[in-house]
Amino acid sequence: MNPAERGEERARRRTLAAAGLAHARAGRFFAAHEAWEGLWLELRGDERLWLQALIQVAVALHHAEAGNAAGRDSLAEKAAVKLERLAALEHREPEWATGLGLPAPRPLLRALADWRAGGDAAPLFP
């Protein structure tokens, strides 16, 4: 891939990631999932795992709003497992995500645990 193509790929990834984050911050959790899914499909390794955890948190929140406790709990647990793994690896955001404000694994894991214990969902996607 030449430098121009790498720049285009970075810009496209940033656009998808930012769109998903905007949806999540606005409480449109299913739309966040949809925006991030296309990006998730092309990623590999820890980047893919990180984005999958974000998607699972968004879907858990969507299930919570819909009154689906089983779906909420299942997706929140799956996300927590991924976030624990990434936090242990001290995962850092990919270059294409720098400055967007996507939550890092360790703070998201803490916010997810607080939410699961009955806290506010707002800190999940600040």
Q: For 4-45, how does the pLDDT look when each residue is reduced to its tens digit (9 = 90+)? A: 999 999 999 999 999 999 999 999 999 999 999 999 999 999
Instruction: Give the range of the structural domain holding residue 49, as residue numbers without chain letter.
Output: 3-124
Share of the chain above pLDDT 90, in %: 86
Query: Can you tell me which residue has the tokens 């927590």?
Result: 80
Distance (Å, whole) CA 40 – CA 100: 16
Asked if residue 112 lies in contact with residue 76, where contact means CB atoms within 8 angstroms, the answer is yes
Query: How many domains is the chain partitioned into structurally?
Result: 1
Question: Residue 105: pLDDT band by 50, 70, 90 thresholds?
Answer: very high
Question: Residue 93: pLDDT band by 50, 70, 90 thresholds?
Answer: confident
Structure tokens, 29: 């959790």
Angle, helices 3-25/45-65, rounded to nearest 10 degrees:
20
Query: Which CATH number covers residue 33?
Result: 1.10.3450.10
Predicted model pTM: 0.93
